Structures are given as structure tokens and as C-alpha cells.
Structure 1
Amino acid sequence: MRHSCLFAAVSLTLLTLSGCRVDSGGDSSSTLNPASNVDLTFSTFDLADTDRAPNTLSKTRFADFYPGIEPNGADQTAEYQATAADIRRHIDRFIGAEPTSDGKSYRKVRNPLDLMNQVISVGRVDNFDEGRGYIRRRIEADESGTYNSRANQASIRFTDQAATLENRPLNAREWRYQTLDWRYQAGSETGHVYRTIQHVARSVDAEDRDKQPQLLSVLAGSRFSAASFSAIGYNQPEYATADYVSRDYGGIELRQEFIGTTQKDTLYIKSPEHAVIDFSRHGFNMEDDSPDCLRIELDYGMSKVHLFVSNDEPARIPDPEEDPADYENADDIPTVSNPANCANQPETEFLMSWNAESTPDRQ
């Protein structure tokens, strides 16, 4: 059985204050995967801070990285500021960000990952709450457990009421999530909960293609401490990844580390030619103005940004220790990581670096 409830998604305030819940048919007594259909209608998919929910944007995926790459001190030069702005404008295409007037932060975002994260953390959706409660009970009993919508063929659909009334394109008014998964493995020495969220835009006719939003898909994974994993509220991840694919601008991937002394975000821009970063402004005359690999690291402890670039360097190469003559097919030669690829370049081999704004409230 599927039920629908109207939520105000600008801040998700009504999700917490209206008392409205979605009883989506899950069986709370089940000791197996409790995932079931969820169908939510929102006044809008836009997320923004409001007086009644002032911290909505602080939990969005790029809340730290986006303003954190701003040059600081002696590095507040026009060149470094322009490079940081180029990176942000590229991110905007994937997360639907509306920048603030100075361009250093955003006042609004609109994307499936941030919306799902908000809905889960705020609660009021019975089946999602039951999913987390089920995993919490599995942890306490030290028994393995999985909530997985795909395995149960459970449908998760979010609908934007305003976009529907305006007859906006299909993927602007309706988001479907192919996978929502929490899992805990009993007896594991690591003691972790893993969560996966996957959204893929629905197929449309060729003539409607360019009317759709840029974001085609997002696949996100998070790792949480099982000891502190809560059935209610916001769970702070230890590690998180998010892989975004767009229609016209390639893809980006954000990897985040939140624990220990390593507080770091790493952004991979998979099609750097679309980011339109002018490296010549820093005096780098690159033979190819469109490198195929671009990695930006933000170290929060050191308040430092490092930028790595490579071109025509595959992520893996044939093992130089192997003799090609020993293999009938070149594809059979074992491979190793290519140290020249930007994803594998040592921390000391960055193309450029600058001091960054401090981020004391790292989320």
C-alpha cells in the first residue's frame, strides 16, 4: 500500500511540525528486509535555510567543500579566486546550486541526493524510520541485517507539486530512487553500517532530452559507526562518496573523510574540459588545455587546497615487472595503478596549491 503526504521541502519544516507521517505499508515486526513502497509529494524539491529550519543547507553534501576552497591570506589573489570560482560553477551544474551574491557559498540546492538525506534525517516517513530502527535493533542484537528497496522491488518516488502544476519536464517534477540500502554485518571487527542511495533519471523521448535537468544519475555511499548509529536524527558519516553524471558536462565524484586527524574532501572532475579552468592564469602553459583527469583536495586540518592534473594517463597500466612475451593477449597482462594519473599522484606532486578559508564547523 502506498500513501502520499504533502511536504514543504524548501526547509522540510512541515516534515517535522505538521505531524504528517507516511505509513507506507512496512511490517515493523519483520526480522527481514522491511523495505516497502514510499511515495512523497513535496511543495518543491528546492532546499534552503529558513527561520524555522536555519541549518538545512549545513547537511548538504557540498556544504563544507564549496566555501572551503576559497583562498585565504596571501593567496587571496584574483588568479586563485577565479580558479575556485570555476570549480564552484562546475559543481553548480550537478547539485542545482544557486550561489550567494559573492559566489562563495550557495543559498539553495536542488538535487536528489541532498533531498533524500534531508528526508531521512528529519524522519516522519514510517518505512525509512523503520529501516533505520531495524538496523539499530540488528546492531544491538549483533545480528546481520539489511534494508534494501531494490531487493524488495519497492518503489521510492518523490514528486514536486509546484513543478507538476507548472508542467515542467518529467525529471524536474518526479524523482525515482532505484536503491536505498542500509546494511550491517554482524561479527565484523569494523562495526560499521553502510548506506547506498541511487537515483537515475527516467528515459524520455529524444525531442524532450534538452528540456530535462542536467543531472542524469547519482550514486552515493556512506559508512557510519555502528556504535553511534541512531534510528532518529542525523547520522554523521565516517566516510562518504557521491558520484554524479550529467547530460552535457561529464561527471564528478566527491570523496569525504570525517574521522581522526584526516579531515579531507577530494573532488574528481572526470571531464575537466567542461570545467573551463584557465590554468594559464597561474603561468602554467599546458600542452593540452583539456586534461582528462583533475583532482582537487581540501585538507581541513591544514586549511590547504591542492590541485592535481594529468592528461592521457590511464588509471591503470600494464605491470612493468611483467614480460609481455609471457602473455598471448595484451589484455591478460596484470595491471597496476599508474602513478602519473591524477588520482594516484603523490601528495607532493600537485600542479598548484593555495591556503584556504578555515572551516571550523566541518560537518
Structure 2
Amino acid sequence: MEVVKDGMMSARAPESASTKAAYEFGFLLEQSLGHVTHTKNLLVNVARDPEVHAHWGLIDFQATGIAGRIPVYRNNWTVRAGTRAYRQVARMNRKTKLDALFFHTQVPAVLAQRWLRKIPGIVSLDATPRQYDELGAFYRHEQGPAWLEAWKWRLNCDCFKSARRLVAWSEWTKHGLVQDYEVPADKITVIPPGVNVDEWRRPTPRVPHSDPVKVLFVGGDLERKGGLVLLEAFRSLRNLGLELHLVTKDRVPPEPNVFVYNNLEANSQPLKDLYHTCDIFALPTFGDCLPMVVSEAGASGMAIISTNVAAIPEIVRNGDTGLTVPAGDAASLTQALRDLATNPALRVTLGEHAMAHVTRHYDALTNASRLLGLLKAEANAARAEKLATSMARFA
């Protein structure tokens, strides 16, 4: 994989001197929150397909240098992402003839619709803008005046119409596209982001043990992800001798049996080891669409506790692949922790069900292959359309 410039990379799977990749695909990927981990997984898995030569445009969230001083641009993520994506597709297109484009999320695609109309494109999203607005308070996001929201809605409708297909991370997202943005259901394919299951699977099966039960929390924003509520519930269960392991960017004052990790990298082996040594994964989040850490926990065979927010119940099916509690309900969270801490057999059963569910539906390699299959189909369709047009011209 070669870094070109300005967040752009070009990569293909190894090939012999006599072969050439059949498809040239451009990937424009938002780099914020969990989308960074999604990008890392795609970089690895797309490179395994020898038919694909991938061009990567990584759309950074930050506005630095001179760009950080330009009004509107510095304060508006849609403007920044769209401008950067547009320029990066232009660079890719000068370098080679692209067969298809893949945008994740719709944010960088909204102002790059000229390319979506010119090159077959797929837009992927974890949540619609209106769904994000519903969770906005937890992301420190506020809606604008009515005229601005109406304009934003129209821009997104046009973007979804310009794309050949849409990929939704969940059924929850798909429902929002159909209900709020007039997208035909058959234009949408649900493909979750997933994790590389083989890399996250625990080396040995989980069994009941007599050591302290370890609870794991992974969330950069401790408050939004429910970490403060989890600390409250944990303190009320000190008599059970639990340990709480917090992976977060935030600082946490020292207290007994609480272990804090501020510098663990996504997909790193130390992080995977922590998933493998802990027993319960707790993410009592207030605001999330489909947090990838939950599928990581499932792949690790952990008993999961989370909240019934957005698409989370599609992974954490209450009583089957884990337990869900209302967001902010410390009493319900305390009871769920108590139930799992005192019932080793239940922990093992839920963890096994979670691992089977994630393996079947959230494996990153399988789902990357599905994405590439959609891109190839759209590229092939566009080639056939071009050929038919040429033949008709000379008929």
C-alpha cells in the first residue's frame, strides 16, 4: 500500500506481471469516531481481492492550518468532507479510469454528487441525518433553523437518488432511509461493518471460573457511552468482588478494583487480549448508531450488556445474545450486572450465542466481499450500458 498525498492511497492485492486488476475502485471514507476502525478493516480485506485495484481517499475530520481559519469551511463538517472528497475523486480520476466509487458515509458524498452521476457509485451510512439528529444531544450536535434543515434534507435526498445503490449498516438505518428520505427499499442493501472474527476469537473456550469477574467497557467518550452510569452500578456491587476495566480517552480518578487504559489502539493485540481476559462487556451508551465494539465483544465470546438504542438490539438481542437495559437506568444496569456476575452458566451461554450471531452476520471479511460484489455488479452494469449505447449509435 502506497501513500500518495493528501490522505490518498493506492493499493491492490499482489499479482503476477502478466495479470491486471479487473476493477479500479475509489473509496472515500469518513475518518471520525468508529468509521476509523471500519476503514482499517476495509483496507485489510479489500486488498485480499486480486481483481480489485483500490484507490483510498481518507477524509479527515480535523480542519488545521489555513483551512482551520476559513469561515463556514472550518465549522461545517459537510462542507469540509464534501470539498475534500470532490478533490480526491478528481485526483483519482486523473490518474486512472475509475469503474466505481464507494462513499462512507453520505457526508462526503453530498457535495460530490457530480461524480456520483458520472461514475457508478454506492453510498454507505450508519445513520440517516434525521436519525443522527434524534441522537444529536449526546453528540453535542444541534439542528439548524427550519429552512436549513429543509435544504439539508433535499441535498441528502438528491445524493441518495444519485447513488446507484445504498448500503445501510443496519435494518434501523434502512428503515430511516425508506421512511424519511423516499428511498425505495429494493435500492438498499444491509451490510454491517463487522470485525475480523478470526482475529478476535478467544484462543480457548470460556468456562466458569473462581477468579474475580471482570467487566470491560470500551468507549472514547466516557459520559456519552454510559461509563459514568456503569461506575455507579459497579460501586453498588463491590461486595461481589468485581473488577472494572475501562478503555477510554477520558481520565478517571483512581478507586479500588477499577483499571483504566487511556492509550489502547483499535484492533491492537493488547486490546484483544483485554477482551479475552474479561468476562462481561458493558456499554450502557446513551447515543450510538451501531458501535463496533459490541461486535468485537461478540466475536470474543463475551456476555454483553448494552442499551436498546438505535441498531444495538440487532446485535444484542435481549436474553439471547446479551442483555439490554434502558439508557441511563442505573438500577436496571446494576441488576443485569448482578445477574451475569453471579451466574457463570448464563455468561457462557450468552457469550456463545453472541459469538455465533456475530460470526454469521458481522464478519468483516465476509461483509467486505459483499460490498465488493455490489461494486463489481454496478461497474459491470455501467460497462454493459456503455457498450449498448455504442452499438446503438452504429446500428
The answer to which structure has the higher strand fraction is: 1
Name the structure where helix makes up a greater proportion of residues. Answer: 2
**TM (normalized to structure 1)?**
0.27
TM-score, normalised by the number of residues in structure 2: 0.26
